[in-house]
Amino acid sequence: MWLLRSLYFDVTRNIAMNKRVEQFGALGQEDRLRIFRLLVRAGLQGKCVDEIKRAFKMPGSTLSHHLDTLTRSGLCIAQRSGRFIYYAVNWRETSNLIRFLTEDCCADMHLRLAPPAMKASGSGRSGCCAEEETAIPRMVRDAAKR
């Protein structure tokens, strides 16, 4: 029984890690990263495919491939409005990716950098995380709650 439970949790951890690897892979190509950054700047409403195409001057088939990769990774969403398709950042998934990157931020720094009094108090973190500031902008946090 213990072995089955152990295997189950190991498999779910691998699935979550594979999802993050896929997302980093989607952002690991220069044109896709540029497209994603454009969509971040566009905010919640996103951009029409034609606007994205004009901004990057790339063939439609290439743009379609990049947008499909970003959408399959979960970092973007597509919505049809009449004849047009709008792409926008999936803020919930993007905030989860940022959280994944920062969840271990400074996890062991307190052992090396904190003054002895802080180590004894058990506050846990110092440096960049001492005041619990997050790298996620307010707009992303609010959108992720929806």
pLDDT in tens, the chain (146 residues): 555 455 555 566 677 888 999 999 999 999 999 999 999 999 999 999 999 999 998 999 999 999 999 999 999 999 999 999 999 999 999 999 999 888 877 777 666 665 655 545 444 444 555 444 444 556 555 655 55
pLDDT of residue 135: 47
Domain identity same for 21 and 71: yes
Domains contained in the chain, number: 2
In a domain, 33, yes or no: yes
Domain identity same for 49 and 109: no
Boundary of a domain, candidates 49, 64, 89: 89
Contacts 24+ apart (CB under 8 A), 64-70: 66/29, 66/31, 66/32, 66/35, 67/35, 69/26, 69/29, 69/32, 70/26, 70/32, 70/35, 70/36
Domain that holds residue 126: 105-145
In a domain, 55, yes or no: yes
Domain identity same for 80 and 140: no
